[in-house]
Structure 1
Amino acid sequence: MAVNFCVSCGHSMETRMIDGVERRACPSCGNVHWGNYSVGVGALVFKDQKMLLVRRAQEPGKGKWTNPGGYIEQLEPIEETVAREVWEETGVRAEVRSIVALRDQPRAVHNVYIAFEMEYIEGEPKPDEREVDQAGFFSLEEMQDMDVASFTRWLIDVALHAKEGGLAIDRKATGQGSGDVYFRL
């Protein structure tokens, strides 16, 4: 879908060659539409050697077991997004420990998915009955007989076999008032 009007000033957009790619640009204010992107997040929450999983109640993946997750809001820090998604889908409170995996899906809406290892804080899993219809902590043995999505199986493997602790929030770099959050090994 073409962007016909500037989101900054409302003027009609035109097509220009920018950085070797045809892009929609505003002749009035100079705003450039760089593309369509979405950033998804997923939580890997472990408690007593069991992982928090939810069963999807809607497409995509209806009926599949996955880790809780969702999409970031425009002005929401990403670590708050993943904690919110876990809470909304399961009623479990968890905090970010580290980033353990990233998936890149270049397509019409370019999707980047960031998986976080989370520290379980409190709560017993209960589904939201909208996005998910079941939720619980499950062992690897229990997952053998469950319809776990292949991407979630990959994430579980990543979390269980990570050699490093992943990228953790650099609290020293985030205290500068800008609202930016930095992650590092």
Structure 2
Amino acid sequence: MAVNYCVACGHSMESRTIDGIERKVCPSCGNVHWGNYSIGVGALVFKDEKMLLVRRAQEPGKGKWTNPGGYIEQHEPIEQTIVREVLEETGVQAEVKGIVALRDQPRSIHNVYIAFQMEYVGGEPVPDEVEVDRAGFFSLEEMEGMELASFTRWLLDVALNVKNEGLVIDSKAVEQGNGDVYFRV
């Protein structure tokens, strides 16, 4: 979808070459449309050697089993997003341990997906009946007979072979008041 009007001031956009790439620029206020992006998050939650999975009730992937997850809101830190998404989709409470995987999909809407290793805190899986129609903790043996999304199979391999907690929140680097959060190995 082409950007025809400036989101900052409403003026008609024009094309200009910036950094060797043709981009839409507002001749009135100078706002540059850098592209369309989305950031998704996913949870790898284990309880008693079983992984939390949900069955998608909507496209994309309707009917397939995946790990719980979703998309960040504009002013929501990613570590809060994944806690919220797990709770919304399954009723399970979990805490972030660290970031263990990342997927990059450069497409018309450039998607970055961040996978979190999470600690089970409490609750029994109950599907939200909107985004997911089933939820539960499943063993490797049980997963063999399930229609897992291919990306979820890859994340399962990541979860089973993770050697550490990945990138963890660096609480010493957080500047007071500005909301920035830093992760490090």
1:108 alignment counterpart: 108
Counterparts of 1:171 and 1:140 in 2: how far apart (Å)?
35
TM-score norm. by structure 2 comes to: 0.98
* Amino acid aligned to 2:105: Q
Query: Are 1:6 and 2:3 an aligned pair?
Result: no
- Structure 1 residue aligned with 2:98: 98
Give yes or no for the alignment of 1:134 onto 2:113. no
CA distance in 2, matches of 1:169, 1:160: 21
Amino acid corresponding to residue 66 of structure 1 in structure 2:
T
Offset, 1:28: 1.1
> Offset of 1:162 from its aligned partner?
1.5
How many correspondences in the alignment?
Answer: 185
Name 1:122's counterpart in structure 2.
122
The one-letter amino acid of 2:29's match is C
Q: Return the letter of the residue paired with 2:156.
A: I
Q: CA RMSD in A?
A: 0.8
> Do the aligned residues in 1 keep the contact of 2:117 with 2:165 (CA within 8 Å)?
no
Deviations 1:151-175 (A, max 9, x none): 1011011011122320001111124
Structure 1: 4+ residue segments shifted above 3 A: none
Percentage of pairs with the same residue: 78
2:11–2:26 Cα contact (<8 Å) kept: yes
Task: Note the residue ranges of structure 1 that are not aligned, 5 or more in a row.
Answer: none
CA deviation profile, 1:52-107 (whole Å, cap 9, x unmatched): 00000111111100000000011111011111110110001111110000000111
Q: Distance in 2 between matches of 1:64 and 1:163?
A: 28
Secondary structure in structure 2 of the residue aligned to 1:113: strand
Alignment-derived partner of residue 176 in structure 1: 176
Counterpart of 2:122, as a letter, is E
The TM-score with structure 1 as length reference comes to: 0.98
In structure 2, the residue matched to 1:78 is 78
**CA distance in 1: counterparts of 2:79 and 2:165, whole angstroms:** 16
Residue 99 of structure 1 aligns with an amino acid whose one-letter code is I
Contact 2:15 2:22 in 1 (8 A): yes
Matches within 5 A, 1:34-73: 34-73=34-73
